[in-house]
Amino acid sequence: MAKKKVEYDESTIQTLDALEHIRLRTGMYIGRIGDGSHPQDGIYVMLKEVVDNSIDEFIMGAGKRIEIFRDESEVTIRDFGRGIPLGKVVECVSQINTGGKYNDDVFQFSVGLNGVGTKAVNALSAEFKVCSWRDGKFRAAGFKQGKLVGERKGKQAAEKNGTLIAFRPDPEIFGEFDWHEDYVHERLRYYAFLNAGLTLVYNGTRFHSKHGLADLLAHEIGEARTVYDVAHFKQDRLEFAFTHTGAYGENYKSFVNGQYTNDGGTHQSAFREGLLKGVNEFAGKNYAGEDVRDGLIGAVAVKLQDPVFESQTKNKLGSTEVRSWIVKAVREAVVRWCHENPKASEQLLSKVKANERIRKELAAVKKQARERAKKVAIRIPKLIDCRQHFNTPRKKRADESTIFLTEGDSAGGAMVQSRDVETQAIFSLRGKPLNCYGLKRDTVYKNEELYNIMRALGLEDGLDGLRYNRVVIATDADVDGMHIRNLLITYFLTFFEPLAVHGHLYLLETPLFRVRNKKETRYCYSEKERDEALEALANPEVTRFKGLGEISPREFKQFIGDDIRLTPVTVGSVGDVGKSLAFYMGKNTPERRAFIEKNLITDV
């Protein structure tokens, strides 16, 4: 059928006010909407936008305590800063491009520079309340879906200066969602690490740090062994900490004005460069960057006026002018630390020399692997690439690109026929991958399939070469599929941990059941959903999908399309990774068996 022609004339032009635009184009303001199952989902961004304002007060020397309370879906944040100027309370939470953060004397180092954050929270909330106290007086206002519904003002001499904001995310925007306490706790914990001396209290739980980024690294490392004690440096605009562990690769946490920059940016690259120069200057050598940084875990935080980010969600710093002074400051601080801590610097250099030796020993193994790969095929075996990457193996990844690691040719074949050829690639596994727990890096080059996975993803030189934004493990919903899933996760966490740390590793969720009658078809992802569908549909038939290859390409298309369900593989800390891998993938079979028997769920 021919597509109906739509006239492009004056009647098709729309003008939206700011409130309508925020609600219609939500992703532009808070990134993903989500349902609360991912730490970057919209409800956590809303919490962050409000707390950021309270943090800015602390940075400016006003208020050392922030109280946060959640009652089901409503969240209340009370700070003890200067309070919003009473005559501008309504405007500051409802009018775009209104706020004090354009004034560098009032807010010197702020993330929220565009006057959008709290307004977006207001617009996306079913209910929103604000109250400001200044010198015994207050002004309060209430909103529904961003529209003002009432105001109050008066005197409350007993209340301390500050601001209270309460909001309830709008179900019309977010649908059904759940708050995950772990995500909230982790976000508040980072606020404490980044603002030593600040106290945050959430539903009675207290978050406080005395030593800033040194405490952050201690938390990240957990019980994992370090080569030397954490090095820590702090000045007005720059703070960083680092140490080496026995892990492979590099691992960083970077921040700008308290904002976690998940994808790094110029401040992180400058920190890496400055550390390399500092170590080489102290050692009087010219060590390669990979030798100095392999096994490094570091954290860097900078405070900038007017930072430039590469997106509204502020995941990556783009400001180029910061590079030179950060490199210089880090280099000087590292050299000084090395001289002041001779034992630790000796341990650091021993680690660097060991990295160099291992790299040279691996050179021959790498050469053999590359020569072997050339003989097999010009392209990477079992990789069906997306058009975005044809003939460009080192092309920078794009936000929408995805690669599925599938179990066998049958599942891969179904996905090849149903995928988006522009952005979705398929890599078909040949069987169960090797259990990499406890193995050395040469394993990746000696095992053909593990080597080809690394080549397909572009991970040989670290995360910078990653060719796809999302790496999705897609296995059958059975025991073998779960085992393959665990083996792949072990592979990535052992040799390429930053892939998970920086939010690029996912699990594909596909339906377990299809329940249908002549009028309707429902796909169910759990036994509960299946039972609900059985009750709702008359005379239904039930199909249990045992493998991805059993789902037709026509059906599969919807499961990897706009409604794709992905579960992120998240990492709590470096220490957690080691403990988890040792328990689930190590040689402690009796202990695992006891755990399974204790936690086995049986139908009653």
Average pLDDT, the chain: 86
DSSP 309: B
Q: What is the pLDDT of residues 273-302, one digit of tens each?
A: 999 999 999 999 999 999 999 999 999 999
Instruction: Output the CATH code of domain 19-207.
Output: 3.30.565.10
Secondary structure of 75-127 in the HEC alphabet?
EEEEECCCCCCHHHHHHHHHCCCCCCCCCCCCCCCCCCCCCCHHHHHHHCEEE
The reported pLDDT for the residue numbered 106 is 46
Match domain 377-510+548-576 to its CATH number in 3.40.50.670, 3.90.1170.20, 3.20.20.70, 3.30.460.10. Answer: 3.40.50.670
Averaged pLDDT for residues 335-359: 95
Q: Report the DSSP beta bridge partners of residue 144.
A: 147
Q: Report the DSSP beta bridge partners of residue 568.
A: 506
Separation between Cα atoms, residue 260 and residue 573, nearest integer Å: 16
Q: Give the confidence band of 272 by pLDDT, cuts at 50, 70, 90.
A: very high
Question: In angstroms, what CA-CA distances link 454 with 32, 211, 380, 427, 468?
Answer: 28, 38, 10, 11, 12
The reported pLDDT for the residue numbered 364 is 84
The reported pLDDT for the residue numbered 463 is 84
Separation between Cα atoms, residue 466 and residue 142, nearest integer Å: 46
In what helix (H) or strand (E) does residue 62 lie, and over which residues does it extend?
none
> Do the beta carbons of residue 258 and residue 303 sit within 8 Å?
no
Separation between Cα atoms, residue 503 and residue 526, nearest integer Å: 25
Comparing 66-80, 212-226, 312-326, 510-524, which segment has the lowest mean pLDDT?
A: 312-326
Which residues contact residue 14 at a Cβ distance below 8 angstroms, ignoring those fewer than 6 apart? none
Q: What is the pLDDT of residues 466-492, one digit of tens each?
A: 999 999 999 888 888 889 999 999 999
- Domain boundaries, given as residue ranges, for the chain: 19-207, 213-356, 377-510+548-576, 513-544
Q: Give the confidence band of 243 by pLDDT, cuts at 50, 70, 90.
A: very high
pTM: 0.77
- The percent of residues above 90 in pLDDT, for the chain, comes to 48
The reported pLDDT for the residue numbered 169 is 94
Q: Give the confidence band of 107 by pLDDT, cuts at 50, 70, 90.
A: very low
In degrees and rounded to multiples of 5, residue 488 shows phi and psi of -70, -40
Separation between Cα atoms, residue 216 and residue 365, nearest integer Å: 37
Q: What is the pLDDT of residues 297-313, one digit of tens each?
A: 999 999 988 888 876 55
Q: Give the confidence band of 333 by pLDDT, cuts at 50, 70, 90.
A: very high
> Which of 503, 182, 100 has its CA nearest to residue 315?
503
Q: Give the confidence band of 604 by pLDDT, cuts at 50, 70, 90.
A: very low
The domain made up of 213-356 is a member of CATH 3.30.230.10: yes
- The percent of residues above 70 in pLDDT, for the chain, comes to 88
Separation between Cα atoms, residue 132 and residue 78, nearest integer Å: 10
Q: What is the pLDDT of residues 492-521, one digit of tens each?
A: 999 998 898 888 999 998 888 999 998 899
The reported pLDDT for the residue numbered 452 is 92
Separation between Cα atoms, residue 138 and residue 412, nearest integer Å: 63
The reported pLDDT for the residue numbered 102 is 44
Q: Give the confidence band of 113 by pLDDT, cuts at 50, 70, 90.
A: very low
Tokens (6 digits) for 603: 């139908």
The reported pLDDT for the residue numbered 252 is 92
423 versus 398: the higher-pLDDT residue is 423
Q: Which residue blocks in 222-294 are alpha helix, DSSP H?
A: 266-283, 289-293
Count CB neighbours of 173 within 10 A: 19
The reported pLDDT for the residue numbered 11 is 64
Averaged pLDDT for residues 225-229: 93
Averaged pLDDT for residues 222-249: 91
396 versus 282: the higher-pLDDT residue is 282
